[in-house]
Amino acid sequence: MGLQPIGRGVPTPQHPGFTLLEVMVALALLGLILGVSGLALASLREPGENLATRQLRAARDSSIRSGEVVRVRIPATGSSRDVYAASVTFLPDGRSVGAGVDPLTGDLRGAP
C-alpha cells in the first residue's frame, strides 16, 4: 500500500508533500506581505513639483551646464503677457538673484 510503518509503528506516507490547504495559506501570506511592502515603497516616491518649480530647476541646471547667465520670467496668473510674478536670474555657479525666490530652495515665495 502507500503507507509504511516507521519507528513505533506510526504509518507515514511514502511521498511526503504539501497539501492544497498549506499551499493556499502560504500564497495568501505571500500576497499579503507583497501588497503591504508595495504600498510602503510607493510612499517613498518624491512628491510632484508644480510647473514653475520645474522651470526654475531646468533654468538653473542650464545655467550651470552652459556656464552662462539664464533669466527666467514667470508670468502672473490671469494677467497679460507683459506682467510677471517673478523674474529670476541664475548665475553659472548655481546662485539665483531675483525678488520672489527663496534663495535656499529656488522655489517661488508664496507659491502653493
pTM (2 decimals)?
0.44
Q: Which residue has the cell 504600498?
A: 39
pLDDT for residue 23: 93
Contacts of 100-105 with CB under 8 Å at 24 or more apart are: 101/56
Question: Which amino acid, one-letter code, is at 1?
Answer: M
C-alpha cell at 79: 494677467
Q: How big is the chain, counted in residues?
A: 112
| H-only helix segments in 1-112 | 20-42, 51-66
Task: Report the SS3 class of residue 10.
Answer: strand
pLDDT in tens, the chain (112 residues): 555 655 566 666 666 788 899 999 999 999 999 888 888 877 777 777 777 788 888 888 999 999 998 888 777 776 566 666 677 888 888 888 877 666 666 666 655 4
Phi-psi group of 2: left, alpha or beta (phi > 0 → left; psi -120 to 50 → alpha; rest → beta): alpha
| Of 90, 80, 35, nearest in space to 58 by CA | 90
